[in-house]
Structure formats: structure tokens, C-alpha cells
């Protein structure tokens, strides 16, 4: 049986476009068999994570090198501004190496994409 996919129970778009913090309890497991999406055959995944220390960058780099899109919450109160600058510089380098893209959304999120995936700097309809 294909793996279940997680969908945010409430407010996924508000989280992506600016909302509060989330945890694994904020997601509702849905069985892929309930949908005719072919999601079990996808090669690119959108991955969500938190960055609270420099070591968290390793998993993000691996995911982007593997072709996944990463949405990372930046937990400012656990890192210094200088450490966060270094983390962002490392992730910019990864995006550049794979031909991907990176943006910082407000003060709390980074979105990093693999090669061939760009990020629009404007909202839909604008």
C-alpha cells in the first residue's frame, strides 16, 4: 500500500503566506488511495522543517540535492543573527549549485527549491 500523505488540517496557505508556528499535530494524515492524484509516483516532495541551529542545515541541503522543495521555519530566538546569516549564505550556495532558488518570506520562513524550480516574488493575481 502506498504511504499516506500529510495535509495541514487548517491554514496551510496561511502558514505558507504568513501565519503562526506549526507542529506535527497540525497535520491530518490522509490515505493516498482516497485520491486520484498519482502522488505516490511523484519525484519531487515539499518538505517542511525548522531551523533552530546550524546543524539543521545538513538535512535541508540533502533534501534540496535530492530534488525536494524545502519550507523552513526560522526560529529566531534560538540562533544569533550572525549564525542565521551564515545559515542563509550556506543555503543560497546550495540553491545556486543545483540551479534552484531561495527566498526569505518575512522574518520567519525560507523556501529553497532544487534545479528547474523557481519561486515567484509576487502573490497570485498581482
pLDDT per residue over 24-50, tens digit each? 667 777 776 666 655 556 789 999 999
CA torsion, points 86, 90, 59, 30, in degrees to nearest 10?
100
pLDDT score, position 123: 87
| Over residues 9-18, mean pLDDT | 51
pLDDT per residue over 90-123, tens digit each? 999 999 999 999 999 888 899 999 999 999 998 8
Q: Collapsing DSSP states into helix, strand and coil, what is residue 17? A: coil
The upper half-sphere exposure of residue 74, i.e. CA atoms within 13 Å in the direction of its Cβ, equals 22
Q: List, in sequence order, every beta strand (DSSP E) within 31-74.
A: 46-51, 69-74
Instruction: Report all structural domains of the chain as residue ranges with CATH numbers, in order of start.
Output: 1-37 (no CATH), 43-126 (3.30.110.150)
* Contact between 111 and 70 (Cβ < 8 Å): yes
pLDDT per residue over 67-81, tens digit each? 999 999 987 766 678
Amino acid at each position: 500500500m502506498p504511504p499516506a500523505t500529510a495535509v495541514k488540517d487548517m491554514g496551510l496557505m496561511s502558514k505558507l503566506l504568513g501565519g503562526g508556528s506549526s507542529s506535527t499535530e497540525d497535520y491530518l494524515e490522509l490515505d493516498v488511495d482516497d485520491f486520484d492524484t498519482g502522488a505516490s509516483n511523484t519525484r519531487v516532495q515539499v518538505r517542511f522543517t525548522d531551523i533552530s541551529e546550524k546543524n539543521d542545515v545538513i538535512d535541508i541541503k540533502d533534501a534540496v540535492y535530492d530534488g525536494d522543495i524545502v519550507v523552513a521555519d526560522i526560529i529566531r530566538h534560538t540562533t544569533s543573527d550572525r549564525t542565521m546569516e551564515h545559515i542563509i549564505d550556506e543555503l543560497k550556495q546550495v540553491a545556486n549549485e543545483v540551479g534552484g532558488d531561495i527566498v526569505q518570506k518575512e522574518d520567519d520562513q525560507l523556501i529553497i527549491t532544487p534545479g528547474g524550480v523557481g519561486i515567484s516574488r509576487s502573490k497570485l493575481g498581482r
